């Protein structure tokens, strides 16, 4: 019955849609993929993609492609653009591999890289400045602070995603800028939604709400614009907008009017019953409530309001990745399609109706035996990432420091080759000779066998940041420590931000894992298999006391007062014996005042007397 | 040196201090007699050697020399703000309109092939007289000239010629005048008997031609005189014949038109309140209905065109029937992506809004386009001054595609609004209107550049602590040369080009970034820096100098007294 209705719906759609509109409607796709993760988290991946032909783009006719962005691209001569707004940390240990193989995420803060058309480096810099300033206005972000000190030109790490005709390759410049300190918030989401053809008014974008998005444990907003030339047909310019967010289910389910977390009353407390002391009056609270029931309106605060009418009807708007054994409730009129892999299912939504989905908690039968295992059964097992990476500062004091990156290859039999890129601020002066890679548990340096290629562009004070790209490999099932030392420089008084004691953010390191091929010689031609970013670091520099200039003035003045005053007085005063000089008494001034006062009184009296006399 | 009273017990009477003082300084033995017998008997110090006194004066003097000759110049040099020399008086002269008298000499050639040379000359002289009698505005000159007789078939007029209008005199039945719609030609027919004789001092034909010319250029004259009167052009130079109503309508029109820019971005946007329609044939429609006008405007402005479609657009006003107040808030600036374009050129927005809203009140656009007033009053569109136009288009709810034919009316409306947004005058044939526009724009630019110069001069005078970099001075001198050139060649294409450059340079000089950088440096900060430094140094220096001066004066007086005593003795 249901299938019959869907057939009817499809036939109706195909009849009423104008043939031209139908052909054009495949220019826009949108899809939401929901994947419950371990530890009661939920990954929601929104993907919006629209196309415009290059000829229409050059004629300034914009339909699905946003005009505001298109104009900026044309003005700045941009061929391909990638913009990232990210917040939080992806917990790879428990959540597994990143969505989109890490290709649609950035480090904390704002990241921007673009291929620009320019004849010379100066021209590229100029266009880059135009681009960052224009984007900063469009996205309400401080992108205009990406100056020359925060801009690098990566050599190995990034490769264009789009199809660029070979003839122009020599004239395209890749520039990369990052703002780790930028706080991503609602004001960045609003312009992001405005770029969508259906705004936030219809389709899956209706779920996007700043309160929920920026409350997530991890979120990443991405905009990717690239030219795509299919084998048959015209080249198109494709804009892909992606939002990935990991929501803590329990946190998201808090009622909106009462968001402050409070301890639950005793009878609602979830206890760990496996503890030996568990009884009616003693409770060891379970640290998370696995596999809770949740619904779209609970998690996102609203339901999906129909579909965007421009979308490709062949792409189901909502997909859910849970094992086939779990049951899911959906609102009437929607259609469920299970995929062949048995781990995901997709839903067709009625164009005008609201869509709600409820994922009930799995049956309790399995849960009593082994919680962790049971949870994994009810979820799609997260994929193991190719590499785990974490980065931290070592050392102590205000002068020197070190950076240590721990890179772990979980695969038992596959070697991982990757490019590790750091773009450091100029005030972290690294000592390149101290760069060292060693395998955990093995003594001695294996630098030469692990590090294959180093590209280093040293910093220039106040003009350019450090750029370090290292191509290295990690053998199977081993952990590699990559370390180097650096020196902290002292900034000028005006270069400190108002919150100088907080520290300075150091951008995330970008790790680009290359596809393993036999030809080691050419690294540029190899495609990217996976990308990940470490967390950003907080580097504390020696901060001066900011009242210093006034202190200096006062101190100098005191010294001058002592030295100059003394010297001057010695030179110009005459010295006489103690009994020869004028008597110095404390009452000098007082006496003089009293004298004056007395005179005044006398004057008054005499005057008063004069008046009396005349009477 | 310190001339304090030796004992301060209050017993001395008031007449003694000066004597006591002198006694100490002079240190003569008899002074001790005057000293009152207090609790302690004080000795007086031995007399100072004259060389010591001299040395002390030298020390103080050298300290002061160092301060005055070394310290002060260094302080002055390091704390002065660089102010480039600006020709302030000349700038103010430009702003007051004293430097340039905008004169638009319009050359009008008369083609009278049917007339004898002598007759034609005579007619020309009479017409010129009549024109000069009619004209009360010195800035706007109509100069007649006789064009060499051409063959009647050849009616081509030279484009690069500066001639503003050609009058073609053709013999005919009665006196009529028609303006050629495609070229700046005024065709006048006359009955042969109206040709003035060589001796007559007046002629009805000459008067007729003069009045026709005057009415043709009446609007241009009014606009230019309005522009001049709004700037500080000397009043004697101002025309008198501007009625308040005319001035008001002109001011309305000038506030409506955009500021001059060499390039305008035209943005055509289709906004729909729902998901449909999602495509339109805008390119074809622009090519058909708007391109001709854009091509004609090309010598004055460049245009870039972009189009966009925005679905699910909520207008700022949700009422079904829009009244006059709603129109101003209809454009939802917060949500509609109409952000100004990058690159400096202003954007003119043309919005087609597909929805079922209607306008209830008299449309705003109705009062200004006289030529197609009927079309405008019935059309659901309105013009937003200096911004663009909104057109409400109601379509059947399931339309998915807007055809070029549907867009005809909106685009024709947009075209007429574009002309009024660029400030084109409304009467006359199109070529005349455009050449008038060029003249109005050059006058406008000239006046604007002059007033910017004036503001810069007043700013430089008002803020003495503002630094003026040399680039500003360069900009000012460039502006002035171009202004001078523009003023000399007003009315022609060259004048417009010079006025453009002058205006751009003046704006750049005025908005120089480094001028406002350190404009505000509070006095408290200066006090906080100078006081602790100068206090401990300045006070001993100053006191030393004062004491020295006092001692020196006393020494002189004593010398004089001694001299007087000696004389007495």
CB contact under 8 Å between B311 and A197, yes or no, is yes
Q: Which among B267, B259, B333 is positioned nearest to B500, based on CA atoms?
A: B259
Q: What is the DSSP letter of A580?
A: T
CB pairs under 8 A between A and B: 149
Tell me the per-residue pLDDT of B307-346, one tens digit each, with 9 for 90 and over.
888 888 888 888 777 777 778 888 887 788 887 667 778 8
CB contact under 8 Å between A573 and B540, yes or no, is no
> Does residue A524 sit at the B interface (CB-CB below 8 Å)?
no
Domain identity same for A353 and A440: no
Tell me the per-residue pLDDT of A338-379, one tens digit each, with 9 for 90 and over.
887 777 888 888 888 888 888 887 765 444 445 555 666 677
Which residue in B has a C-alpha nearest to residue A586's C-alpha? Answer: B8
How far, in Å, CA of B323 to CA of B327, rounded? 7
Facing A572 at nearest CB: one of B60, B267, B312: B60
> Does residue A201 sit at the B interface (CB-CB below 8 Å)?
yes
CB contact under 8 Å between B45 and A554, yes or no, is no
CB < 8 Å & 24+ apart, contacts of A558-566: A558/B536, A560/B533, A560/B536, A560/B537, A561/B535, A561/B536, A561/B537, A564/B536, A564/B537, A564/B540, A565/B536, A565/B537, A565/B540
Interface test with B, best of A65, A71, A189 (most B CBs within 10 A): A71
> Which A residues 295-334 touch B at CB under 8 Å?
308-310
Mean per-residue pLDDT, A17-27:
43
What are the DSSP E strand ranges found in A133-188? 151-152, 172-179
> Which chain B positions have a beta carbon within 8 Å of A580's beta carbon?
42-46
Q: Out of A62-71, A163-172, A304-313, B377-386, which region has the weakest mean confidence (pLDDT)?
A: A163-172
How far, in Å, CA of B196 to CA of B192, rounded? 10
Q: What is the pLDDT of residue B19?
A: 41
CB contact under 8 Å between A67 and B304, yes or no, is no
CB < 8 Å & 24+ apart, contacts of B482-486: B483/B94, B483/B99, B483/B100, B483/B446, B483/B449, B483/B450, B483/B453, B484/B99, B484/B100, B486/B442, B486/B445, B486/B446
Q: Beta strand pairing status for B279-280 and B401-402?
A: parallel
CB contact under 8 Å between B282 and A20, yes or no, is no
Alpha-carbon Rg for chain B, nearest whole angstrom, is 41
Domain identity same for A276 and A142: yes
CB contact under 8 Å between A67 and B529, yes or no, is no
Where does residue A267 rank: exposed (0-12), middle (13-18), buried (19+ CB within 10 A)?
Answer: exposed
- Which residues have CB under 8 Å from A529's CB, separation 6+? A101, A386, A513, A514, A515, A516
Facing B532 at nearest CB: one of A21, A138, A554: A554
Q: Which among A247, A227, A246 is positioned nearest to A235, based on CA atoms?
A: A227
- Domain with A399 in it: what CATH number? 2.60.40.740
> Which chain A positions have a beta carbon within 8 Å of B400's beta carbon?
17-18, 20-21
How far does B464 lie from chain A, in Å, by closest CA? 26
User: Would A182 be classed as within a structural domain?
Assistant: yes
How far, in Å, CA of B343 to CA of B335, rounded? 22
How far, in Å, CA of B255 to CA of B227, rounded? 12
Examine the fold and report which residue of A481, A509, A539 is the final residue of a domain before the chain moves on: A539
CA atoms within a 13 Å half-sphere pointing along the CA-CB vector of A201: 18
CB contact under 8 Å between A572 and B307, yes or no, is no
CB contact under 8 Å between B60 and A59, yes or no, is no
DSSP string, B15-51: TSHHHHHHHHHHT-TTHHHHS---SSPPPPPPPPPHH
- Domain hosting residue A162, numbered range: 2-256+268-378
> Which chain B positions have a beta carbon within 8 Å of A201's beta carbon?
311-312
Omega of the bond prior to B277 within 30 degrees of 0, cis? yes
> Which chain B positions have a beta carbon within 8 Å of A587's beta carbon?
8
User: Would A546 be classed as within a structural domain?
Assistant: no
The helix or strand, by DSSP H or E, that contains position A127, with its residue range, turns out to be helix A121-139
> Which chain A positions have a beta carbon within 8 Å of B398's beta carbon?
16
3 state DSSP class of A574? coil
Examine the fold and report which residue of A508, A539, A570 is the final residue of a domain before the chain moves on: A539
User: Would A29 be classed as within a structural domain?
Assistant: yes
Facing A21 at nearest CB: one of B59, B279, B544: B279
Which residue in B has a C-alpha nearest to residue A583's C-alpha? Answer: B6
How far does A582 lie from chain B, in Å, by closest CA? 5
> Which chain B positions have a beta carbon within 8 Å of A595's beta carbon?
8, 10
pLDDT band at A177 (very low <50, low <70, confident <90, very high): very high
How far does A64 lie from chain B, in Å, by closest CA? 7
Q: How many domains would you assign to chain A? A: 2
CA distances from B191 to B113, B203, B243 (A): 15, 13, 36
Domain identity same for A200 and A304: yes
- Which residues have CB under 8 Å from A551's CB, separation 6+? A545
Domain identity same for A371 and A468: no
User: Would A207 be classed as within a structural domain?
Assistant: yes
Q: Which among B474, B526, B506 is positioned nearest to B94, based on CA atoms?
A: B506
- Ranges of residues in chain B whose predicted pLDDT is under 70: 1-42, 135-140, 147-162, 194, 196-202, 230-243, 340-341, 361-379, 428, 516-521
How far does B535 lie from chain A, in Å, by closest CA? 8
User: Would A281 be classed as within a structural domain?
Assistant: yes
Which residue in B has a C-alpha nearest to residue A561's C-alpha? Answer: B536
Instruction: Cite the DSSP H helix spans in A238-314.
Output: 249-252, 296-300
Facing A582 at nearest CB: one of B2, B46, B63: B2
Q: What is the pLDDT of residue A537?
A: 92
Domain identity same for A335 and A406: no
User: Would A580 be classed as within a structural domain?
Assistant: no
> Which chain A positions have a beta carbon within 8 Å of B4's beta carbon?
582, 588
Domain identity same for A368 and A397: no
Which residue in B has a C-alpha nearest to residue A131's C-alpha? Answer: B342
Q: Out of A291-305, A309-323, A557-571, B526-540, which region has the weakest mean confidence (pLDDT)?
A: B526-540
> Does residue A21 sit at the B interface (CB-CB below 8 Å)?
yes
Tell me the per-residue pLDDT of A182-225, one tens digit each, with 9 for 90 and over.
888 888 898 898 888 888 888 888 888 888 888 889 999 999 99
Domain identity same for A324 and A470: no
Domain identity same for A445 and A347: no
Mean per-residue pLDDT, A265-284:
77
> Which chain A positions have a beta carbon within 8 Å of B8's beta carbon?
583, 585, 587-588, 591-592, 595
CB contact under 8 Å between A62 and B529, yes or no, is no
Phi-psi region of B388 (alpha: psi -120 to 50; beta: other; left: phi over 0): left
Domain identity same for A374 and A419: no
Per the model's pLDDT, the better-predicted residue between A133 and B240 turns out to be A133
pLDDT band at A325 (very low <50, low <70, confident <90, very high): confident
> Which A residues 462-481 touch B at CB under 8 Å?
none
- Which residues have CB under 8 Å from A43's CB, separation 6+? A33, A34, A35, A36, A37, A95, A99, A244, A245, A246
CB contact under 8 Å between B541 and A68, yes or no, is no
User: Would A558 be classed as within a structural domain?
Assistant: no
User: Starting at the edge strand that comes first in sequence, how are the strands of the sheet with A78-88 ordered?
Assistant: A151-152, A172-179, A109-117, A78-88, A218-228, A236-248, A41-53, A28-37, A318-320, A345-348, A335-338
* CA dihedral of A514, A519, A523, A527, whole degrees rounded to 10: -40
Q: Which among A290, A299, A294, A298 is positioned nearest to A364, based on CA atoms?
A: A290
CB B185 within 8 A of CB B155: yes
Examine the fold and report which residue of A489, A519, A539 is the final residue of a domain before the chain moves on: A539
Domain identity same for A131 and A247: yes
Q: What is the pLDDT of residue A288?
A: 58
Domain identity same for A372 and A399: no
Q: What is the pLDDT of residue B157?
A: 45
> Which chain A positions have a beta carbon within 8 Å of B341's beta carbon?
71
Domain identity same for A106 and A234: yes
Q: What is the pLDDT of residue A552?
A: 83
User: Would A146 be classed as within a structural domain?
Assistant: yes
Q: How many CB atoms lie within 10 A of CB B507?
A: 14
Facing A580 at nearest CB: one of B10, B45, B279: B45
């Amino acid at each position: 019955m249901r299938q019959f209705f869907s057939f009817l719906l499809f036939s109706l759609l195909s009849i009423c849609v104008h043939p031209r509109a139908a052909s054009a409607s495949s220019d826009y796709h949108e899809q939401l993929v929901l994947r419950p993760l371990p530890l009661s988290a939920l990954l929601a991946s929104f993907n919006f993609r629209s196309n415009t032909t290059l000829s229409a783009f050059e004629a300034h006719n914009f339909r699905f492609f946003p005009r505001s962005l298109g104009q900026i691209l044309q003005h700045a001569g941009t061929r391909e653009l990638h913009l990232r707004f990210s917040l939080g940390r992806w917990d790879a240990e428990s959540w597994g591999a990143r969505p989109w193989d890490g290709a649609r995420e950035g480090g904390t803060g704002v990241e921007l890289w673009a291929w620009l058309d320019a004849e010379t480096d100066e021209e590229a810099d100029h266009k880059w400045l135009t681009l960052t300033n224009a984007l900063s206005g469009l996205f309400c972000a401080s992108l205009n602070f990406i100056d020359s000190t925060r801009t690098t030109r990566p050599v190995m790490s990034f490769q264009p995603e789009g199809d660029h005709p070979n003839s122009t390759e020599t004239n395209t410049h890749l520039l990369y800028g990052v703002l780790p300190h930028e706080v991503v918030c609602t004001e960045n989401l609003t312009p992001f939604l405005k770029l969508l053809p259906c705004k936030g008014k219809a389709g899956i974008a209706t779920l996007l709400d700043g309160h929920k998005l920026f409350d997530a444990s991890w979120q990443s907003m991405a905009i990717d614009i690239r030219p795509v030339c299919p084998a048959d047909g015209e080249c198109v310019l494709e804009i892909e907008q992606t939002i990935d967010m990991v929501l803590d289910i329990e946190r998201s389910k808090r009622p909106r009017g009462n968001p402050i977390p409070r301890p639950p009353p005793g009878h609602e407390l979830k206890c760990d019953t496996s503890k030996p002391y568990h009884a009616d009056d003693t409770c060891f609270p379970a640290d998370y409530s696995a596999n809770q029931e949740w619904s779209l309106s609970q998690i996102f605060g609203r339901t999906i309001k129909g579909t965007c009418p421009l979308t490709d009807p062949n792409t189901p708007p909502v997909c859910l990745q849970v094992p086939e054994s779990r049951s899911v409730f959906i609102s009437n009129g929607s259609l469920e399609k299970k995929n062949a892999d048995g781990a995901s299912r997709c839903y067709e939504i009625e164009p005008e109706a609201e869509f709600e989905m409820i994922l009930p908690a799995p049956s309790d039968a399995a849960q009593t035996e082994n919680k962790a295992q049971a949870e994994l059964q009810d979820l799609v097992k997260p994929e193991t990432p190719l590499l785990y990476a974490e980065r931290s500062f070592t050392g102590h004091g205000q002068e020197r420091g070190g950076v240590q990156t721990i890179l772990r290859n979980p695969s038992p039999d596959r070697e991982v080759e990757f490019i590790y890129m750091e773009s450091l601020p100029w005030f972290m002066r690294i000592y390149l000779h101290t760069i060292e890679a060693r395998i955990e548990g093995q003594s001695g340096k294996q630098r030469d066998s692990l590090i294959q290629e180093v590209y280093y562009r040293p910093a220039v004070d106040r003009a350019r940041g450090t750029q370090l790209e290292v191509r290295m490999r990690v053998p199977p099932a081993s952990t590699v420590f990559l370390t180097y030392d650096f020196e902290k420089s002292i900034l000028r008084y005006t270069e400190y931000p108002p919150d100088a004691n907080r520290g300075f953010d150091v951008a995330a390191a970008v790790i680009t894992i290359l596809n393993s091929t036999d030809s080691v010689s050419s690294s540029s031609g190899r495609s990217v298999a996976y990308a990940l970013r470490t967390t950003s670091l907080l580097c504390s520099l020696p901060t001066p006391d900011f009242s210093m200039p006034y202190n200096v003035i006062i101190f100098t003045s005191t010294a001058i007062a002592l030295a100059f005053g003394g010297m001057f007085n010695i030179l110009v005063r005459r010295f006489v014996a103690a009994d020869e000089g004028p008597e110095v008494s404390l009452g000098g001034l007082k006496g003089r005042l009293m004298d004056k006062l007395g005179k005044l009184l006398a004057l008054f009296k005499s005057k008063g007397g004069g008046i009396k006399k005349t009477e | 040196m310190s001339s304090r009273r030796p004992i301060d017990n209050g017993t001395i009477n008031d007449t003694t201090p000066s004597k006591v003082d002198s006694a100490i300084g002079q240190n003569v033995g008899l002074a001790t007699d005057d000293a009152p017998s207090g609790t302690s008997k004080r000795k007086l110090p031995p007399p100072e050697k004259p060389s010591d006194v001299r040395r002390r004066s030298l020390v103080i003097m050298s300290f002061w020399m160092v301060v005055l000759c070394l310290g002060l110049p260094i302080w002055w040099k390091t704390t002065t703000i660089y102010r480039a020399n600006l020709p302030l008086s000349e700038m103010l002269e430009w702003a007051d309109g004293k430097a340039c008298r905008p004169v638009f000499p319009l050359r009008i050639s008369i083609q009278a092939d049917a007339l004898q040379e002598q007759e034609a000359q005579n007619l020309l002289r009479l017409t010129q007289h009549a024109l000069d009698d009619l004209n009360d505005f010195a800035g706007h000159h109509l100069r007649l000239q006789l064009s060499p007789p051409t063959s009647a078939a050849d009616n081509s007029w030279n484009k690069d010629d500066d001639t503003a209008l050609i009058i073609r005199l053709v013999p005919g039945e009665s006196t009529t005048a028609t303006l050629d719609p495609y070229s700046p030609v005024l065709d006048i027919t006359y009955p042969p008997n109206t040709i003035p004789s060589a001796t007559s001092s007046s002629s009805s034909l000459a008067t007729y031609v003069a009045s026709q010319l005057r009415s043709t250029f009446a609007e241009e004259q009014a606009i230019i005189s309005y522009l001049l009167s709004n700037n500080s052009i000397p009043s004697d130079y101002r025309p008198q014949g501007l009625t308040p109503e005319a001035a008001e309508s002109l001011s309305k029109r000038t506030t409506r038109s955009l500021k001059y820019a060499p390039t305008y971005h035209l943005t055509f946007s289709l906004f729909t309140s729902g998901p449909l329609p999602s495509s339109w044939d805008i390119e074809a429609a622009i090519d058909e209905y708007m391109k001709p006008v854009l091509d004609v405007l090309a010598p004055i402005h460049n245009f870039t065109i972009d189009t966009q479609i925005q679905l699910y657009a909520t207008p700022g006003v949700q009422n079904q029937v829009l009244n006059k107040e709603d129109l101003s808030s209809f454009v939802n600036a917060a949500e509609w992506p109409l952000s100004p374009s990058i690159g400096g050129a202003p954007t003119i927005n043309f919005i087609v809004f597909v929805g079922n809203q209607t306008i209830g009140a008299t449309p705003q656009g109705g009062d200004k386009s006289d030529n197609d007033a009927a079309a405008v009053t019935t059309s659901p569109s309105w013009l937003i001054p200096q911004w663009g136009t909104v057109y409400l288009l109601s379509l059947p709810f399931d339309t998915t595609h807007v055809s070029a034919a549907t867009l005809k009316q909106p685009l024709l409306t947009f075209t007429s609004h574009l002309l009024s947004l660029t400030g084109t005058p409304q009467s006359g044939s199109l070529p005349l209107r455009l050449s008038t526009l060029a003249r109005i724009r050059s006058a406008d630019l000239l006046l604007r550049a002059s007033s910017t110069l004036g503001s810069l001069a007043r700013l430089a005078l008002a803020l003495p602590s503002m630094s003026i970099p040399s680039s500003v001075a360069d900009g000012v001198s460039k502006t002035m040369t171009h202004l001078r050139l523009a003023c000399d060649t007003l009315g022609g294409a060259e004048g417009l080009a010079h006025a453009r450059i002058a205006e751009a340079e003046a704006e750049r000089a005025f908005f120089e970034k480094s001028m406002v950088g350190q404009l505000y440096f509070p006095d408290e900060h200066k006090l906080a820096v100078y006081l602790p430094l100068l206090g401990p140094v300045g006070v001993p220096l100053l006191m030393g100098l004062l004491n020295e001066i006092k001692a020196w004066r006393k020494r002189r007086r004593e010398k004089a007294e001694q001299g007087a005593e000696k004389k007495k003795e």
